[in-house]
C-alpha cells in the first residue's frame, strides 16, 4: 500500500534555531500534502496545504514566515520551523491523498521539543 515517510521522528533543538521536517511519498506521487500539528491528547489541527510547484495555503492563525513549507517535487514536502520557541514544541504530522477510496496516508509524525 501507499507509504508516506516522515523524518525525523524525534528532534530536540535549542530556542532560536530552525528545524526541517521531511515528508516523502514513497510509491506514489502526491501533488498535495497536508501538514498538521497535534498537542498532547488533542486532535490534529491543519496548519497548511502544500501544493507541488506552488505556494502553500496556510490556515488562519498559522504564521507562514514561521512555518515554511516547500513542495518542490511530487514526492517531497518539507516543513521548516524557523526560530523555534518552546511553545512550538508539538507533534507534527504530514499526510497525502492516496486515492478516492483510501483517504489519506499519514506519516509517522515528528515529535519536536524546543529547549
Partner 1 sequence: SQQGEEDPQALSIQEGENATMNCSYKTSINNLQWYRQNSGRGLVHLILIRSNEREKHSGRLRVTLDTSKKSSSLLITASRAADTASYFCATDALTGGFKTIFGAGTRLFVKA
* Residue 101 binds partner 1, judged by CB under 8 A: yes
Q: Is 87 helix (H, G, I), strand (E, B) or coil?
A: helix
Enumerate residues 6+ apart whose C-beta is below 8 A from 100.
none
10 Å CB burial of residue 47 (0-12, 13-18, 19+) is: buried
* Residue 113 binds partner 1, judged by CB under 8 A: no
* Residue 107 binds partner 1, judged by CB under 8 A: yes
Which residue in the set 93, 96, 112, 114 belongs to the binding site for partner 1 (CB under 8 A)? 93
Enumerate residues 6+ apart whose C-beta is below 8 A from 101.
none
Which residues, numbered 38-57, are part of the site for partner 1 (CB under 8 A)?
41-46, 49, 57
| Total residues in contact with partner 1, by rule CB under 8 A | 25
Q: Which residue is it, cell 507509504?
A: 3
Which residue in the set 33, 34, 56, 96 belongs to the binding site for partner 1 (CB under 8 A)? 34
Rounded distance between C-alpha atoms, residue 87 and residue 67, angstroms: 13
- Which stretch, 12-20, 69-77, 78-86, 101-109, contacts partner 1 (CB under 8 A)? 101-109
Residues that bind partner 1 (CB under 8 A): 6, 34, 36, 41-46, 49, 57, 91, 93, 95, 97, 101-109, 111
Amino acid at each position: 500500500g501507499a507509504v508516506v515517510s516522515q523524518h525525523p521522528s524525534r528532534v530536540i533543538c535549542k530556542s532560536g534555531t530552525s528545524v526541517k521536517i521531511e515528508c516523502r511519498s514513497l510509491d506514489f506521487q502526491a501533488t498535495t500534502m497536508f501538514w498538521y500539528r497535534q498537542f498532547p491528547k488533542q486532535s490534529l489541527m491543519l496548519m497548511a496545504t502544500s501544493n507541488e510547484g506552488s505556494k502553500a495555503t496556510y490556515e488562519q492563525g498559522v504564521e507562514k514566515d514561521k512555518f515554511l513549507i516547500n513542495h518542490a517535487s511530487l514526492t517531497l514536502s518539507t516543513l521548516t520551523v524557523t526560530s523555534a520557541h518552546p511553545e512550538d514544541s508539538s507533534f507534527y504530522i504530514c499526510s497525502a491523498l492516496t486515492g478516492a477510496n483510501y483517504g489519506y496516508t499519514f506519516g509517522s509524525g515528528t515529535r519536536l521539543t524546543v529547549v
